Structure 1
Amino acid sequence: MKLSLFLYLLLWGGHSLFAQKDTLDPQKIIKLDHVVVSAQIEPQSIKKSIKNVQVITEKQIKSLGATNLGDVLNQYVNITVMPDGDSGRSTVSLFGLDASYFKVLVDNVPLVNEGGVGNNTDLSQINLDDIERIEIIEGAMGVTHGANAISGILNIITKRHADNKWNLTYSLQEESVGREYNLTTRGRHIQNFKASHNLNDHWMFSVGTTRNKFNGFLGNYNGKNVLYNDQNRGYRFLPRNYLQTNAIINYKKEHFNTFYKFELMNQDISFYDRSVKSGYNDQWGRYKFGNDRRYFYKRQFHHLNINGSGWLNYNFSLSYQEQTRDDEYFRYIISRRLETNNTTERVEAMKVGYSKGELSKSFYDKRLALSIGYEATKNKGFAIVNASQNRTKEVSESIDNYDGFLVSEYHFTPQFSLGLGGRYSYQSLFDNQYSFSVGSRYLLPKNLEWRASVGRSYRTPDFYELFSNIIFEGHYFLGNESLIPESSLSFDTSLKKMTLFSDDLLMKNQLSLSHNRIKDRITNALIGYEGSTPKYQNINISKYNYINLASTNALSLDENLEASIGASFTWISQIIDNNVHKTDDRYLLNMGINAGLTYTFPKWGTSVSGYYKWAGKSQLWAATTNGYIVSEVDSYGWLDASIKQPFLGKKLELTLGARNLLDVTDVKRTLTTEGHNTSSSVLLGYGRTFFLKLSYNLDINY
C-alpha cells in the first residue's frame, strides 16, 4: 500500500509537469518567486537560479510552532533529524550522510561549534526568532562553500530590517514534554523579546534575547533523586537551559549596505549517572550518591558585512567565532540534595577567524556574469582526550585553509544558461584540494524549468577524527593525523513546473534525480591488538554511493491555502571495510513521504496547519562478530498540527498546537543472524507534546 502511494505521488508529479495547461503570462509567475542569495553571483529569483534552491519561509516556521531548527527540518523531504538523548544534541542526516557532510551557515558565514566549522551543528543551539527564511541547496557545493559541503548547505537568512519606527515583540511558549508538564520542573518554557528601531532612513538596530528551558524527559527513568540502584536513574532526554542574546546594526543607502551582528549563546546540559552508589563518612553516616556532571556550552559570534553594487558588485564578510565546552564534575548526595567535590575543566574549544569576499560584474548586456572570490579560515582547536594508562592529554592544533574561487554564468538566450565554477584550497594539514562544478538551466515551453549539474567536492577530517583518543580497559580507539580528505563526485538534475491557473491559484511540481559517489571515506578499522584488547583507528578505506529520486508538489490559493506533498526514494550503497569484515556493494532502500496543509479563514484570520512525515522501513549495515549484516529499522509516521488566532488587530497572536501526535518515541531495529532475530531501538522523540504560544507585537510610529 505504501509503495503504491509512492509510485502514485511520483507519477502524479511527473504527469503534472507535462499535462497542466498554463493560462497566464509566465512573467507573472516570476513575481511570485522568492529572491535567493545562497550560491548566487547576485541576489535573484529562484526561477533564474542555476542551482535548485528550496526556501522555508518565516510564515512556515511560525505555523509549525517550532522551538528549534530540528522541528523545522523534520518536515523536509530528504532530511532526518537525529536526536541524542545522552549528549542532548540534535544533528541532521541527508541522504544517509551525517552532519559532517552538510554545512550550516548564518548569513553565508559557517556556524562554528566545538567540533567543526559549519558541520556537526547542534540544531538545538540555533534561535528561530530572528530568521527571515532558510535556503537549502542539495548536492555538491564545494565551489562556493568549500570543504564539507558534499550533501548540501543550509543558509539561515536573519532579519535586518524593521517595518516601523519601533517594533517591540514579546512571546511566551509553554510546552509539555510527552506527558510531563508543570509550571516549574517539567516541560519546556520559552520566552523571547526583541526590539527593533529605525533611527532614520538609513540606520536600523535591533536587540533581542531568548530563553529556552527544557526540563528533560524522564521516559522510563526515575530522575535524579532515586535511592535504589536499578540503573534507571536520570533522564531519557537530558535537561538543558538555553540563553541567547543578539544585537544587529544595519546601514543602507542606495547601492551600499553594511551590517554588524553580535550573538552570545549559553547552554548548560545536566547529566545524571544511571547508577546509585553507596558511601559513608562520620558526618552523614551511610549515604547514596551519583557521579554527575554538567556540560556548559558558550558561543560568541561576530559578523561584519559590507556589500554594494556599482561598476563592480562586492560582498565582503569578516567573522570571529568562539565556542567552548566546560564540564563540571560533582558528587550528588541524593538523600541530602547536596552537591560536593565540584570541579570544572575546559574540555573542548574552537576559535575561528573567517573571511569571505567576492567581486562580481556583468558583461555583454548582462549575458555574462563573473564572480571571483576568496575564503580564509583560521581555525584553532583544543580538546582534552583520553590517553594510555587511564590518563588524559591536551591537544591544541590549527586547521587552516586559504581558498580562491571563480564562478561564471553565461546566458546564451533568455531560456538557456550555463554555469561554470572552480575552487582551489591551500590546506595547512592536508594536501591542497580543489572543487569544480558545471550547471545549466533551460526554460522549456509550458513553463517547464530543467536544471542539471555535476560537481566535485571534498570533506576534510574533523578535529576528533584526527586527534581524539579513547583508551581505557577493553577499549582502544585512536584518531589518525595521517587521514586524507574524502572526495565526492555528484550529479543531479530536476524538472520543475509552475502553473498559475488564475491570479489566485498557483501549483508547483518538481521531479529530481541525484547521484553521489564518495571515495576515501573515513572508517574506524581494526589495526591490531594491545595484549588481548583490539585497537581501532580512523583510516580512509570505505566508499559511499547514493541515488535519490524525489517528487515535490505544492498548491497555493490566494495566500489562504497552502498544500504540499512529496515523496523520496534513496538507494544507498556503501563498502565498509574495517580490515576484518567488509560489506558488499548492494543498494539499500530508504523511503519517505512529506505532506503539509495550511488554511487561513479570511473572516477571522484563523490559520490551521498540519504537517505529516512518513519514513518507510529502512535498511542499513550493522557490524556483528561474524561480519556485517543488513538490519532493518521499522517505518514510522510523524504528525504536527497547530491553530493560530490573531487578536487586537494582529497585535496579539495565540497559537495552540501539538507535535508528534502519533506518539513516536523509539523505533525498532531488527538484525537477523543465523536464523535468529535480535532487536534494539532507535531513539527519535519523547512522544506526543502540546504547546501554547502567546505573542505580542507593538508597532510605534512617530
Structure 2
Amino acid sequence: MKNKYIILSFLTFSALITNAQTDTLRFAKSETLSELVIYSDADSQSIKNSVNNVKVISSEDIKNLGAVNLGDVLNQYMNINVNPSSSSGKSKISMFGLDASYFKILIDNIPAVSEEGFGNNIDLSQININDIERIEIVEGSMGVTHGANAVSGILNIITKKNIQTKWDISAGVQEETIGKEYKPFSEGRHIQMLNVKHKINDHWFVGVSGLKNDFQGFKGDLLGENHNINNGKRGYKWLPKDQIQTNAVINYNKNNFRIFYRFEYLNDQVKFFDSAVDSGYNENIGEYKYGNDERYFTNRFAQHLNAIGSFSNGMNYNISLSNQSQKREIETFRNNITHHSETNNNRYKDQSMDVWYSIGTLTNLFKSNIFNPTIEYEWTNNKGFSIVDEEGSGTKSVSKNIDNLDFYASSDVKINSKFTFKPGFRYSFQSLFDNQNAYSLGLLYKISDGLESRTSFGKSYRTPNFNELYSKMVFDGHYFVGNENLIPERSSSLQTSLKKTTYFKSSDMALSNQIQFGFIEIKDRITSALTRFEGATPKYEYINISKYKNFNIVTSNNFQWDNFNFNLGGSFSWLSQKIDNLEYSTSDKFLFTYSLQANASYFLENPQLTFAVYYKYISKSPQWIVGSNEYVLSSLDAYNWLDISVRKTFFDKQLEATIGARNLFNVGSLNQTRVNEGAGHTVDSQVMMAYGTSYFLKLTYNLKIK
C-alpha cells in the first residue's frame, strides 16, 4: 500500500514538471505540429487543430520494438491491455476494462473485418504492420464520427502510399526465440518479409508486400506433437501458428485529386494437438498411436477503393468502397503419431463475415472563417455465418444480415483564434434494431502559446454482435444461447485534458506534459444471464441488464533533447460493473487499477546506432467472476514488462540490423486469486499471459534507386 501512494505521488508530481506514445514531438525538426495531418476524424486535419486527443505511434517505434503484428506494438501502449489466448492463438484488446467489442480498429479509415465482427473483436495477431506509415489512436466515445461500437476508442492504421525515390525495395528476415525454445526450423518464430514500391512518375505509385510468420508454438513442460505416451504431456502450451499475408496498392495523385486501390490477403493456420494419446490397429500397418487433433484455418480477402479531391467551387470530397470477407474453417483428423500420417480428415466452415462497406464525406461546403461543416454517409451490408449447437449432439448453420445506413454531420465553429468547438450528430437506420443516434460536442481552447485544453462529450451506442444474437452452445447439462431480442447498449463519455508544450529553441529541446480526466457510463449492458431452469439444466441467455462506469486519470509526459527522447506516464482507473444474471448480482463498488509506462530512445549519429527501452507496469487487477451461487471478487497478479532493442545501420543505411529482447521480467502465467465461497479462504488458478523472455534478431536490406 505504501508503494502505491509513492507511485501515485511521483506521477502526480511528474505531470506538473515533465505525452506518452505521442510522437508529434519527434517531428519538431522537420515539420511542425500543425503540419502533421491526422485521419482519425471524418475530416482530415492537423493534430494541433483537432478537438480530440490523438496519440500517434510512429514507424520508428515499430522498428525499435521489432514488432511483427499489431499486438506487439499495443502491448506497450499505456491504456491498452493486450489479452492473448494460448488455446486459440488470438490476441484481443481491452481498454478501460471494456473488451474488444467496444474498440474499433480501422485500416486507412475502413473498419477491419474478422469472422466475429466488423471493426470489433479483431485478432491483433492477424494485422500486419510491415508496411505502415503510422498508427493513430483516439480514446473515448467516437460513435458520432465512426458509428456503432466505437465506445472506448478507435485505432486507425495509415499505410504507405508514396515514396521519395523511384524504387524502394526492402527484404528482411527475423529470428526469435519463444521463451528458451529455438531451433532454426522446428522451434521459435521465423519471419520473412518483402516490400517493393515503385514511383512510376510524379503521379503514379505501385507497391506490393508480403510477410510469412512461422510461429512454432511454445511447449513449456509439454512434449509437442510427436509425444506418444498417454501421460498428459502431449501438445503445446501456446499453439503453433503459420501465417502468410500479402497486400498490393496502386495510387494516382495529381493536383487536388488522388485515387488508390488496396488489396489484402491473409492465410492463417493454427494447429491443436490433443493431450490424450490413444492406441489403434490397422491390418496394413499394425499397431499405432494416435491423437484426435484439429487445425483452424482463417482466410481474409479485403479490397478498398478510395478517391479524394475537390470540386471547382472548393468543396472537398472523400469517398471509399470496400469489400471484405473473412472465414474460419476447422479441420478434425486422426493424427497417426507412429507413422506421421492422417486419416478421417473432415473440414468445415465454422464462422464467417462478408461485408460491403462505403463511406463518403464532404467538407469545406462553403467559404467561411467561422464554420467548417462536414457531412457524411456510411453504408454497411454485413452477412454473418456461424455453426451453432442443437439439442443433443446436432448442429445447424445460422446466416443473417446485419445492415445499417448512417448519416453524420458536424462543424468546426471557430469563435476566434483560441476557441473552437465542434458539435456532431449521427443518425443510423438499422435493419435489426430500432434506429439509433449519437451526438457529441468537442471543445478546443488554446489558452496561450503551447498551452491548450480539450474537452469532449459524447453519447453513443453498441449494437449486439453476431455471437450475442445467435450463438447456441449445449454441453454437459449447460445451455448457453443468444437472444435475437437484444437491444443496443447506450453509453455516455466525457473527457477533458490540459496539455503544455514548450520548445527551447536555443538548446533544441522540447517538453510536453498532459493530464487527462475521463468518464464512461454504459446502460443496458449485455450479459449472459441465468434466465431459467428446465429440470436440473440451467439456461443461460444474453440479456440487457448490467451497468458499467469508469473514471480514469491519465498523465503523459515527453522530453526530447536532440536525439534523445523520453516518455513517462501513468493511468489510474476506477471501475464499477453492476453485473446481474437475474439469480444474483455484483455490488456496484468501484475497483481500482493502475498502470505505469516509460520508454526512452537515443540515436548516435556517427555509428548510426539507436538504443530503445520500453517499460510497462500493470497493477493487480480485481474483477468479478461467476462462482457457484454468487459473484466473487477475483484478482489477477500485477506484473512488469520490459523490452529493449539496439538498431544499427550499415553501408549508407542499406543494411539494418536490430537485436532485442522482449519480456525481460520473464512474465509467464499469473496467479488469479479469488475467495472460495463458503470456505472463506483464497484459491489460486493460473492465467497464461506470456511465455517468458524472448530474444530476436532482425536483418533488413533496403535498396533505394533515384
Match of 2:24 in 1: none
Residue aligning to 1:146: 147
Tell me, what secondary structure is at the counterpart of 2:703? strand
Q: Distance in 2 between matches of 1:33 and 1:189?
A: 41
Q: Distance in 1 between matches of 2:66 and 2:565?
A: 17
SS in 1 for 2:318: strand
Aligned residues: 691
Tell me how far 1:623 sits from its aligned partner. 1.5
TM-score by length of 1: 0.96
Deviations 1:630-662 (A, max 9, x none): 111111000000000000000000100000011
Report the alpha carbon displacement of residue 36 of structure 1 after superposing the two structures with TM. Answer: 3.6
In the TM superposition, residue 130 of structure 1 has moved relative to its aligned partner by 1.1
Superposed displacement of residue 225, structure 1: 1.4
Alignment of 1:480-559 (within 5 A): 480-502=483-505, 504-558=508-562
Please state whether the residue corresponding to 1:241 is helix, strand or coil: strand
Counterparts of residues 227-246 of structure 1 (less than 5 Å): 227-246=228-247
1:659–1:152 distance in 2 versus 1, CA, 3 Å: same
Q: Which amino acid aligns with 2:373?
A: L
Which residue is equivalent to 1:60?
A: 61
2:590 corresponds to which of 587, 606, 613: 587
Q: Deviations over 1:317-363 (max 9, x none)?
A: 00000111111110011222221111111111111000000011165
Question: Would you say the 8 A contact 1:638–1:660 is kept in 2?
Answer: yes
Output the CA distance in 1 between the equivalents of 2:215 and 2:546. 39
- 1:357-376 alignment runs, 5 A limit: 357-361=360-364, 363=366, 365-376=368-379
The 2-side partners of 1:267 and 1:698 are apart by 30
Instruction: Name 1:696's counterpart in structure 2.
Output: 701
Q: Is 1:8 the equivalent of 2:10?
A: yes
**Aligned-residue offset at 1:679:** 0.4
Residues 530-578 of structure 1 show CA distances to partners (whole Å, capped at 9, x for unaligned) of 33221111111101110110100111122x1111010010110011111
Distance (whole Å) between structure 2 residues aligned to residue 472 and residue 279 of structure 1: 28
The 5 Å alignment of 1:93-132 reads 93-132=94-133
Report the AA paired with residue 426 of structure 2. R
Give the TM-score of the pair, scaled to structure 2.
0.96
1:10-34: per-residue Cα shift (whole Å, max 9, x none)? 23213559xxxxxxxxx99981456
- What is the DSSP-based 3-state SS (H/G/I as helix, E as strand, rest coil) of the residue aligned with 2:7? helix
Distance 1:34 1:331 in 2: 60
Whole-angstrom CA distance in 1 between matches of 2:167 and 2:564: 31
Aligned counterpart, 2:318: 315
Counterpart for residue 25 of structure 2: none
Aligned counterparts of 1:260 and 1:441: Cα–Cα separation in 2 = 35
Identity of aligned residues (%): 48
Give the CA deviation at 1:190.
0.5
Unaligned runs of 5+ in 1: 18-26
Q: Distance in 2 between matches of 1:556 and 1:362?
A: 40
Partner of 1:675: 680
Equivalences for residues 10-25 of structure 1 within 5 A: 10-16=12-18
Report the Cα distance in structure 2 between the residues aligned to 1:327 and 1:618, rounded to whole angstroms: 34
**1:282 aligned partner:** 283
Change in Cα spacing, 1:39 to 1:603, as seen in structure 2 (3 Å) is: closer
Q: Any conservation in 2 of the 1:88–1:237 contact (CA below 8 Å)?
A: yes
CA distance in 2, matches of 1:570, 1:142: 22
Q: Is the 8 A contact 1:29 1:498 kept in 2?
A: no
Alignment partners' CA distance in 2, 1:159 and 1:487: 36
Q: Could you give the per-residue CA deviations for residues 133-187 of structure 1, whole angstroms, max 9, x where no partner exists?
A: 0000001100110011000000000000011111111011000000000110100
Quote the Cα distance in structure 2 between the aligned partners of 1:385 and 1:365.
56
Q: 1:280 to 1:474 in 2, by over 3 A?
A: farther
Distance 1:320 1:590 in 2: 40
Contact preservation (8 Å) 1:194, 1:206: yes
- Secondary structure at the aligned position of 1:547 is classed as strand
Alignment-mate amino acid for residue 535 of structure 1: K
Which residues in structure 2 correspond to 1:110-259 (within 5 Å)? 110-259=111-260
Secondary structure at 1:59's aligned position in 2? helix
User: Which runs of 5 or more residues in structure 2 are unaligned?
Assistant: 20-27
User: What CA distance in whole angstroms lies between the structure 2 residues aligned with 1:294 and 1:620?
Assistant: 33
Moved more, 413-422 or 269-278: 269-278
Using the alignment, how far apart are the partners of 2:575 and 2:87 within structure 1?
28
Secondary structure of the 1:249 match is strand
Do the aligned residues in 1 keep the contact of 2:40 with 2:136 (CA within 8 Å)?
Answer: no
Does the Cα contact within 8 Å between 1:30 and 1:45 map onto a contact in 2? no
Aligned residue for 1:24?
Answer: none
> In the superposition, relative to structure 1, how do residues 131 and 77 fare at CA in structure 2: closer, same or farther (>3 Å)?
same
Q: 1:20 aligns to what?
A: none
Number of the residue aligned with 2:23: none
Distance 1:72 1:601 in 2: 24
Match among 419, 422, 429 for residue 419 of structure 1: 422
Q: Distance in 1 between matches of 2:378 and 2:77?
A: 29
Aligned-partner Cα distance in 2 for 1:268–1:672: 39
Q: Distance in 2 between matches of 1:614 and 1:183?
A: 33
Q: For each residue in 1:382-401, what CA deviation from the matched residue of structure 2 results, as whole angstroms up to 9, or x when unmatched? A: 11111111100010100000
SS state of the match for residue 400, structure 1?
A: strand
Q: CA deviation at 1:272?
A: 1.0
**Does the 8 Å CA contact 2:68/2:130 hold for their aligned counterparts?**
no
User: 1:472 offset after TM fit, Å?
Assistant: 2.3
The answer to whether the 8 A contact 2:215-2:241 is kept is: yes
Counterpart amino acid of 1:13?
A
CA distance in 2, matches of 1:617, 1:575: 20
1:72 aligns with 2:73: yes
Distance in 1 (alpha carbons) for counterparts of 2:627 and 2:693: 34
Q: Contact (CA 8 Å) 2:637, 2:671: kept in 1 or not? A: yes
Residue number in structure 1 paired with 2:689 = 684
Provide the rounded CA distance (Å) in 1 between the counterparts of 2:104 and 2:362: 23
Give the SS at the match of 1:8. helix
Distance of 1:490 and 1:578 partners within structure 2? 25
Preserved CA contact (<8 Å) 1:6 1:593: no
Amino acid at match of 1:687: G
**Is residue 379 of structure 1 aligned with residue 366 of structure 2?**
no
Deviation at 1:197, TM superposition (A): 0.7
Quote the Cα distance in structure 1 between the aligned partners of 2:136 and 2:665: 29
Matched residue, 1:260 = 261
